[in-house]
């Protein structure tokens, strides 16, 4: 019983035997209420394998769902199982889970490598193993160059990627990402989306939440729509999506030189209007959001524009929700 002070070599400990028959996530009639307000009501859901997008407006219950899955809050009714185990009672399933929280606050004083390897050790890895694994996942998210820089100096997109790296360090079978694309620049978005798609191809179960339809659309077609705590829709997005292309959309880009950016953007066929709401932003109007989002990163990179934020102020999810709740009228 001598403590493992030098922490070299390999860890082989398995303290918990997972139920191999059980799906990664199983919710049965799950409700979560705060007083008389239901944050989630009567959700039944089983997920195993592939990438699933959790769509919903702010307050729809996405974060509540994830907090329940991560054992941070207790179900009011129903049962929730991660690999066959109740996560509120037993943290053991997290050996097979990676979680990317929504919270922006990170340990700014740590290096990316320090952060990832420290938290890898909480999975029971030795110091050696944790270092090797941290190198691996930081390369996977494309941060090898800045691995030994302080997180405090990172841009938002880089911070998100550090969080994703930290969640992947134990080679999890289930990865839960809470709004991973929020506030990221286009380049980081593309990288993160590629990472998520890659994980899906590797056969992992991935849950991504977002309130922006186009983001999810570029990652997966399998979606769960939450609205006011209820499960509104479950399945393929494709058919619903087609109808929505008829509505005009806006994209707002915050750039260092909005006028120059606008000049390059006007060449895209799908753009039918450009305006400058203030000195920092360009507002683009289009009928085909997907096409713009596909071409925008290339234009920005090729012309060397400096972008600090990109946003869709027209929440398309609102339109979908309107469509789903009003019997098909947009």
Are 127 and 71 in contact, with CB atoms under 8 Å apart?
no
| Min CB(72)–other proteins separation in Å | 4
Among residues 15, 242, 269, 302, the one that binds other proteins under rule CB under 8 A = 15
> CA–CA separation, 135 vs 144, rounded Å?
7
> CA–CA separation, 106 vs 116, rounded Å?
12
Size of residue set near other proteins by CB under 8 A: 48
Work out the burial of residue 242: count CB atoms within 10 Å of its CB; fewer than 13 is exposed, 13-18 middle, 19 or more buried.
Answer: exposed
CA dihedral 281, 284, 289, 291 (to 10 degrees): -100
Among residues 22, 45, 92, 324, the one that binds other proteins under rule CB under 8 A = 92
Stretch in the footprint of other proteins (CB under 8 A) among 64-72, 153-161, 196-204, 288-296: 64-72
Q: 15 or 302, CB closer to other proteins?
A: 15
Beta strand pairing status for 230-236 and 222-227?
antiparallel
| Min CB(105)–other proteins separation in Å | 5
Stretch in the footprint of other proteins (CB under 8 A) among 117-125, 239-247, 256-264, 286-294: 117-125
CA dihedral 149, 153, 159, 165 (to 10 degrees): 0
> CA–CA separation, 15 vs 17, rounded Å?
7
| Min CB(108)–other proteins separation in Å | 9
User: Within positions 118 to 177, which residues make up the interface with other proteins, using CB under 8 A?
Assistant: 118-119, 121-128, 130, 166-167
| Interface map 223-242 toward other proteins (x if CB under 8 A) | --------------------
Q: 128 or 254, CB closer to other proteins?
A: 128
Q: 177 or 253, CB closer to other proteins?
A: 177
Q: Does 70 bind other proteins (CB under 8 A)?
A: yes
> CA–CA separation, 150 vs 120, rounded Å?
18
Comparing C-alpha atoms, which of 239, 197, 231 is closest to residue 215? 197
> CA–CA separation, 262 vs 258, rounded Å?
6
Comparing C-alpha atoms, which of 209, 248, 241 is closest to residue 55? 209
Q: Does 36 bind other proteins (CB under 8 A)?
A: no
Q: Does 10 bind other proteins (CB under 8 A)?
A: yes
Q: Does 110 bind other proteins (CB under 8 A)?
A: yes
Q: Does 12 bind other proteins (CB under 8 A)?
A: yes
Q: 69 or 261, CB closer to other proteins?
A: 69
Among residues 19, 29, 46, 74, the one that binds other proteins under rule CB under 8 A = 74
> CA–CA separation, 285 vs 35, rounded Å?
43
Q: Does 329 bind other proteins (CB under 8 A)?
A: no
| Interface map 251-290 toward other proteins (x if CB under 8 A) | ----------------------------------------
Q: 128 or 245, CB closer to other proteins?
A: 128
Are 66 and 44 in contact, with CB atoms under 8 Å apart?
no
Tokens of 145: 């160059």
Cβ count within 10 A of residue 44: 12
Query: Where do contacts with other proteins occur on this chain (CB under 8 A)?
Result: 1, 3-5, 7-13, 15-16, 67, 70-74, 91-95, 97-99, 101, 103-107, 109-110, 118-119, 121-128, 130, 166-167
């Amino acid at each position: 019983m001598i403590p493992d002070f030098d922490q070299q070599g390999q860890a082989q400990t398995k303290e918990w035997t997972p139920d191999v028959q059980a799906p990664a996530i199983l919710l049965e009639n799950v409700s979560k209420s705060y007083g008389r307000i239901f944050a989630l009501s009567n959700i039944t859901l089983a997920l195993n394998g592939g990438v699933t997008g959790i769509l919903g407006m702010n307050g729809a219950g996405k974060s509540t769902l994830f907090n329940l899955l991560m054992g941070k809050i207790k179900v009011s009714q129903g049962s929730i199982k991660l690999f066959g185990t109740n996560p509120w009672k037993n943290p053991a399933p997290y050996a097979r889970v990676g979680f990317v929280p929504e919270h922006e606050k990170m340990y700014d004083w740590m290096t990316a490598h320090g952060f990832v390897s420290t938290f890898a050790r909480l999975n029971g890895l030795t110091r050696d193993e944790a270092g090797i694994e941290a190198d691996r996942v930081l390369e996977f998210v494309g941060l090898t160059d800045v691995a030994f820089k302080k997180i405090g100096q990172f841009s938002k997109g880089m911070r998100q990627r550090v969080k994703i790296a930290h969640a992947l360090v134990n080679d999890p079978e289930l990865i839960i990402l809470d709004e991973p694309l929020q506030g990221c620049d286009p380049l980081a978005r593309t990288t993160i989306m590629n990472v998520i798609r890659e994980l899906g191809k590797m056969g992992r179960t991935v849950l991504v939440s977002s309130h922006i339809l186009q983001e999810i659309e570029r990652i997966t077609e399998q979606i769960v729509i939450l609205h006011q705590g209820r499960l509104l829709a479950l399945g393929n997005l494709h058919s619903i999506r087609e109808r929505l292309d008829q509505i005009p959309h806006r994209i707002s880009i915050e750039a260092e030189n909005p006028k120059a950016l606008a000049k390059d953007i006007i060449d895209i066929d799908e753009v039918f209007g450009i305006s400058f709401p203030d000195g920092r932003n360009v507002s683009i109007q289009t009928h085909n959001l997907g096409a713009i989002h596909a071409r925008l990163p290339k234009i920005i990179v090729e012309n060397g524009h400096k972008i600090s934020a990109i946003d869709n102020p027209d929440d398309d999810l609102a339109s979908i929700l309107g469509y789903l709740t009003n019997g098909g009228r947009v």
